[in-house]
Structure 1
Amino acid sequence: MRSFVFRITCMASNAAHHATGWAAGLIAATAVAQASHTSLEHLGSILAFCAAVAGSTAPDWMEVAWWTRARRLWITHRTATHWGIGWVAVLVLSYQALGHGHLWAPLLFGFACGGLMHLLADWPNPLGVPWIWGRHSLNLWKSGRCDLIVVILAWAAACWLVRPLWAATATRVVEWLAHQAR
């Protein structure tokens, strides 16, 4: 029970991780759509989106020993599952594989986007996250207190990052409408 209480008080809320996960999903789906050059790019975008939403809570649920009745943590909170280099490495390697038509690449890329978004949401609180070696904290507020700020920042970043795809899509729609009007 003590480990459960520790998890509740020392991390961004589960709702905040889910809300930022949807933003990560939008980023992942857009990146897959732009990087993929296969006939499965739409499927890849959907898979990336879903995987990002799942990945946004992964650093926390990967610590839980689901195979035991007690459901205790089998990895100390904010250690291996919150390691920044690991998530960034998976993100980069899976992004490089996107253009080669591997079906696993959008899934892994989306999952890594969600996991990285989770770390960014946890970073401002005093416990911090282990980006490279040892934990680093922005020490801005205690977890759960400013979740709305984290969610707004995540969605602002998502909107800014997907801007080029929206602009390209709007241009194609206008061209199509102009062609239909002739």
Structure 2
Amino acid sequence: MASSKAHHATGWAAGLIAAAVVAHEGAGGSYHIGTMFAFCMGILGGTAPDWLEVAWWTRRRRLWITHRTLTHWGVGWLALLYWSYTSLGTHLMAVPALGFAAGGLMHLLADWPNPLGVPWIAGRHSLNLWNSGRCDIIIVGLAWLAAFMVGDHVWFDDIHTLHAINFVRTLPIHAWLIRAGYPALS
């Protein structure tokens, strides 16, 4: 499990991705209210799998369901993402659902490297890379890299991504990687 701060940070990145997708599909509506709503729901969805487990209707606020079970089930989040994407422009709830699903999936991706894993289909699967709370900077960095690339594609026609690739080509490490047999960045 990533830390709470990592889930919040990746939720912001998921919100940006959802907003970009809504804007790209033209489902933002007048004054881009839908785009902002998708962004906010992405932030909320970034922590949703954890807070959906809490029994808010009781005084003790204990978990009503075991941690990393139904609320962390990958198929449910993927189904919500698929439905919301295909319903953009035709259903009122598609925009907030897309943001919420993007945040929820980002949460699962942040939890996946942990040895406890995430129940993607039937059983739990783990990448088993590091323990909880470790290497959060990698998770957050990858989430924001994805948000940068999607946002750059939608709003700036990939110009910043191309500049970044050209910059990496000028680095000495790039030439060393090519000599070592790795493919060149194109």
Normalised by the size of structure 1, how large is the TM-score? 0.83
- Alpha-carbon deviation of 1:38? 6.5
Q: 1:177 aligns to what? A: none
Alpha-carbon distance, 1:23 to partner: 0.4
Residue 105 in structure 1 maps to residue 90 in structure 2: no
Q: CA deviation at 1:159?
A: 1.1
Amino acid at match of 1:57: T
Deviations 1:139-169 (A, max 9, x none): 0000101111100010011112222223249
Distance 1:97 1:148, change over 3 A: same
- 2:152 matched to which residue of 1? 163
Q: Please point out which of 101, 105, 118 is paired with 1:129.
A: 118
Distance in 2 of aligned mates of 1:79 and 1:73: 11
**Where do 1:63-82 residues align within 5 Å?**
63-82=53-72
Whether the 8 Å CA contact 2:3–2:136 is kept in 1: the answer is yes
The reply on whether 1:145 has 2:145 as its aligned counterpart is no
1:33 aligns with 2:23: yes
Distance in 2 of aligned mates of 1:127 and 1:169: 37
Read off the aligned partner of 1:61 and give its amino acid letter: W
User: 2:144 is matched by which residue type in structure 1?
Assistant: W
CA RMSD of aligned residues (A): 1.6
SS for the counterpart of 1:113 is helix
Equivalents in 2 of 1:43, 1:31: separation in Å? 14
Q: Which has the higher helix share?
A: 1
* Partner amino acid, structure 1, of 2:143: A
Q: Matches of residues 52-67 of structure 1 in structure 2 within 5 Å? A: 52-67=42-57
Q: For residue 98 of structure 1, give the secondary structure of its aligned residue in structure 2.
A: coil
Q: Over residues 15-71 of structure 1, what are the superposed CA-to-partner deviations in whole Å (9 max), with x where a residue is unaligned?
A: 000000010011000000011257437111100000000000000000000111111
Relative distance call for 1:135 and 1:169 in structure 2 (3 A) is closer
What secondary structure is seen at the aligned counterpart in 1 of 2:87?
helix
Give the TM-score, by structure 2 length: 0.81
Q: Does 1:50 align with 2:51?
A: no
User: Residue type of the partner of 2:150?
Assistant: L
The DSSP-based 3-state class of the residue aligned with 1:165 is helix
Structure 2 distance, partners of 1:37, 1:59, is 26
Alignment of 1:79-98 (within 5 A): 79-98=69-88
Between the two proteins, the alignment pairs up a number of residues equal to 159
